[in-house]
A and B are shown apart, each in its own frame.
Chain A
């Protein structure tokens, strides 16, 4: 072997080892984060967490009200964001696929998809909290809905674009009007993909903190009243983790574990749905 060849081989070997190291590095972070979460969070996990209110510092308690608050906020946010997103995605894929509006909205939607969520919080603060005069669960839900929206628009459009055209043509040839074709043929063909989109949106929303800080705010008590400030799991974690009280920090870890497990489970389920669709 001549020296040039050896040098090339060596460089290749170094680069490939580095790529392996980088992968292990990336995976290492995931393992490390999950391990610490389990280590710190499992100890505090008990039935009490799900049945009792957040405690004042120094006494025992649970996370019932923030968990309930998070559920309500997420459900309302999805109920607002999903229909709007599906309808908009439908227009972009079915009626106006090549229109200028669609191009513009696609571009803007992609930007909203990765826009900083704290800016969404500021926006909702300006348009809802200021006019209403107080923080409220509604404002929090709308802020989250604005994060759900672009995810759903994007997946709906993508999935409808994947529906083969002969399917539409066959349905139209039977004399179905356009709206009927969309609702009964296209939606049915794209259902799994659209559901994936909604699940991913729920996963994203359930860990969101920044937009809730100054919309839903927080609350130490039980409250299903969307007109009042509302507790949510991420915001309570934020508050408790930064507090000097040890019981609060412990509860924060437990809450963090609950959120992470939920979000990762949703993400994995969504991925499997998407994968099983691809195999069909």
Chain B
């Protein structure tokens, strides 16, 4: 009799202990869930914070200059007159030059890696190209300023001036003394920096083409190029465009490399050999030296414009890549 009472009391003690442990575990489960959820909202909050703080910083300049800020070329800290046209123009032109070179070259490298590269070389070459993306942008800058710009000044730029000099429209595009630094140099360096992004995404989407499609094309006698041109590229078009947009987003926002080689001149000239400026280079060069609220605010407005442009470009890129992922997955 005594024994059973003892056992049952022990059992109930064990049961309460068990219940306590379970409660604690359930409690810690809830806490963990809440903490992780908070962190997710934190990420949301940061993006919201970026937008709000940029807008509030930009308000003074936007109020003073209004919409004309986007269409004025003048940038004069002394008289407090600011317009964003020159940096916007520079950003767009350098990015255009970069994409003009990086897209075909990047696609060709992706084609090489997926179609004709021997399998044992694929990984090393792929990693080497991706290392180009790993090199910090300040390295591109210092390299561009001391090595690449003087090289262009001696070789490519005089050549361009000579060749296009007699041709009416192109002569103004390639006019002027070869400074070395300038819009073209910045665009070329950006091209090298964007190249790995275009390559690695194109390679990934090329790899995702169902082998049956390619084999069928080879089976009816297509050459490798014809398979790429008529099967692979049409099938992966959306993904490739996504990769290109991602690269464009990078090119638009790239700062340090461009700051070194563009010359930081707030003017628009028809010649790509002339110095210019981009949004990010203006901010990097002038922000710490900006005295006066309006000057600072004008630079922050530039930042806001840059953010909006890249946000749109990147959003399109992600949307396109998501679409192709869904199709493949």
Contact = CB atoms under 8 A, between A and B. Distances in A.
A247 to B, nearest CB: 15
B43 A26 contact: no
Nearest to A259: B136
A182 B32 contact: yes
Contact of A112 (B31, B47, B142, B252): B47
A91 interface: yes
Interface stretch (A50-58, A121-129, A220-228): A121-129
B224 interface: yes
Interface in B277-299: 280, 283-284, 287-288
A219 interface: no
B326 interface: no
B226 A8 contact: yes
B109 interface: yes
Contacts of A115: 249, 253, 307, 310-311, 314
Given A110-B314, A118-B284, A207-B137, A23 B113 contact: yes
A84 B109 contact: no
A122 B107 CA distance: 34
Nearest to A260: B139
A105 B44 contact: yes
A111 B109 contact: no
Interface stretch (B74-82, B123-131, B152-160, B170-178): B123-131
A37 B109 contact: no
Contacts of B246: 114
B57 interface: yes
Interface residues of B, number: 90
A63 interface: no
A185 interface: no
Interface stretch (A11-19, A163-171, A190-198): A11-19
Interface in A69-117: 84-85, 87-88, 90-92, 94-96, 101-102, 104-105, 107-112, 114-117
Nearest to A120: B50
B296 to A, nearest CB: 9
Interface of A: 8-9, 11-12, 15-16, 18-23, 25-27, 29-30, 33, 36-37, 40, 84-85, 87-88, 90-92, 94-96, 101-102, 104-105, 107-112, 114-120, 122-123, 125-127, 146, 149-150, 153, 177-180, 182-183, 203, 206-210, 213-214, 217, 234, 237-238, 241-242, 249, 252-253, 256, 259-260, 263-264, 267-268, 271
